Structure 1
């Protein structure tokens, strides 16, 4: 299973995957092109909008270049991507003229090897156009080391994302991330209850400015994260919960103090950047409450505009319901969490 932070239907070119060395991939394409004396060599990815060329060998003509997109029903590339692991060697003479784009004029054969993600799902294919081979089946085996190399890079990418998800700190803001909040919040809430403190769960989420095409940027979330950390006390816990949402566990004297914190953050944000709009919601714990943390978080989170059933904006995959089992933290030493 792939990490939640990797969407296989999104092109590697559209994602910030710094762990993939596209320069090395291009160099491999050049080596293959030289070995087979081929017209062109490229790595193809199957995405939601079709088949996209990720990297390719250098060419004098602007064909099969990085970023070129072909329709998802293109039979030639479907055969390349979904062929058996040892690859395929296709004669393009079997296609009608109107079945192939003009890009393939002069291309007689295509040698390919499928590339898979670590979980076995299809990533794309490594394609060689017009390879010069005396023995197609025997010479095709020379693609296997390159196929393995590309799949190893994809495996390393997934491992990096898994390790990053286990980190307790968010790289963007320096705050706790979702995992860090899972580990710290139950323990802190248990401690607060022992001392008879009231507690509140607050969710903050930036809203895209109305009447503008500008999107939220990393600096906007960093600004909100800094304001939250400057507002809360040492005993409180704040986290960058999802890409757009922040969560805070605060200890207060009464429910009115929770509202005061929300207003204070909103006011400071308006002073820093009046174009940004803030949505917030909360739930409240009394000292004698036996409510568990996860349901209270879900109650607060569902009040956000983006989480309401009638919200018009698309909700990110990370906006699923909160798994209460994650917050039954044995380290918190409390069955009431």
Structure 2
């Protein structure tokens, strides 16, 4: 809902290039692999649920597979075997092995030998394979397998860089206590959401939430209980709003939710849903009794986010005074 990822592992990298990855460096690595192995073709292949895409292809006239081609996920190809097992695969003479009788690389394109190793994302899930193929039978010794493992480390280090950068970016926009966007994250995502609404002529609502008598809770039950309440509010917000909505903690006990409105009554319904969520969840926790004041306004798409937050805050304070 609010988490931004640098790269989606289910998306082909060539369809959404990332500035943190030097495809030129990857190209040089694949070219070097093919050159050292005296192989007519070398590849970096990415796997997603949509199939196997050649991300990088060695730049040789003998290589029949250009970068960008996609092979269906059920095809009986060498790379599929590696992704399924998570281990290296060396086939020196594929035509004599019946398990490759339906392999199009062997029987359509004439390849005989294959050597490949798995490439992993930092979390251990498969990115794809790094491999060489030859039209003739080969007899690689263990040093060749060691070499291809060393070269693929270069590729995995770039994938690790993406992951690390993503974690750092997420930390910069996430409130560590509630687990939702901090002010910076909410403002950045909120402005994007408003721009998208302007483009799509959609309607948005803004809810401004404030815990009533939060200081009293801290003073009488301790700051740990106050922290637990902040975490609790974050969880309720995440469970209540929709995937298209943007939520955040502005600081202290103040929270906001920028929500998509699909009907005239949506804003009132969402406000009621939040209140019911707090009430029902409170009964299932050891937290002290608490209440939340909510100000809800329909968003004027040409107004600044700062102005909108100020208006929603004022609406919340009116409601708080009525309950006092």
Q: State the TM bucket, normalised to the shorter chain.
A: 0.5 to 0.7
Counterpart in the other structure of 1:305 = 262
Q: Equivalents in 2 of 1:138, 1:296: separation in Å? A: 55
**Separation in 1, partners of 2:10, 2:63:** 26
Does the CA contact (< 8 Å) of 1:42 and 1:128 recur in 2?
Answer: yes
What does 1:23-102 align with in structure 2 at a 5 Å threshold? 23-60=24-61, 63-76=64-77, 77-85=79-87, 87-90=88-91, 91-93=93-95, 94=97, 95=99, 98-101=102-105
What is the TM-score of this pair, normalised by structure 1?
A: 0.55
TM-superposed CA distance for 1:6, in Å, is 2.9
Per-residue CA deviations over 1:76-95 (Å, capped at 9, x if unaligned) read 2211323454x211232125
Distance 1:336 1:184 in 2: 22
Distance 1:181 1:46, change over 3 A: closer
Contact 1:38 1:128 in 2 (8 A): yes
Match of 1:125, SS state, is strand
Counting only pairs closer than 5 Å after superposition, residues 82-231 of structure 1 correspond to structure 2 as 82-85=84-87, 87-90=88-91, 91-93=93-95, 94=97, 95=99, 98-101=102-105, 104-130=108-134, 133-168=138-173, 182-184=181-183
Q: How far off its partner does 1:68 sit?
A: 0.8
* Distance in 1 of aligned mates of 2:11 and 2:211: 47
Residues 161 and 277 of structure 1: is their aligned pair in 2 closer, same or farther, counting only changes over 3 Å? Answer: same
Q: 1:83 to 1:10 in 2, by over 3 A?
A: same
For structure 2, the residue ranges without an aligned partner over 5 or more in a row are 215-228, 242-256, 267-277, 279-289, 293-324
Is residue 181–residue 239 contact of structure 1 (8 Å, CA) maintained in 2? no
- Total equivalences in the alignment: 227
Q: Which structure is higher in helix share?
A: 2
8 Å CA contact 1:41–1:129 kept in 2: the answer is yes
Q: Does 1:279 align with 2:203?
A: yes
Cα drift, residue 99 of structure 1:
3.5
Matches of 2:262 and 2:189, distance apart in 1:
16
SS of the residue corresponding to residue 162 of structure 1 reads helix
Instruction: State which structure, 1 or 2, has the greater radius of gyration over its C-alpha atoms.
Output: 2
**Does 1:245 pair with 2:249?**
no
- 3-state DSSP class of the match of 1:241? helix
> What is the CA deviation profile of residues 239-281 of structure 1, one whole-angstrom value per residue up to 9, with x for unaligned ones?
133795359xxxxxxxxxxxxxxxxxx9xx6xxxxx6413211
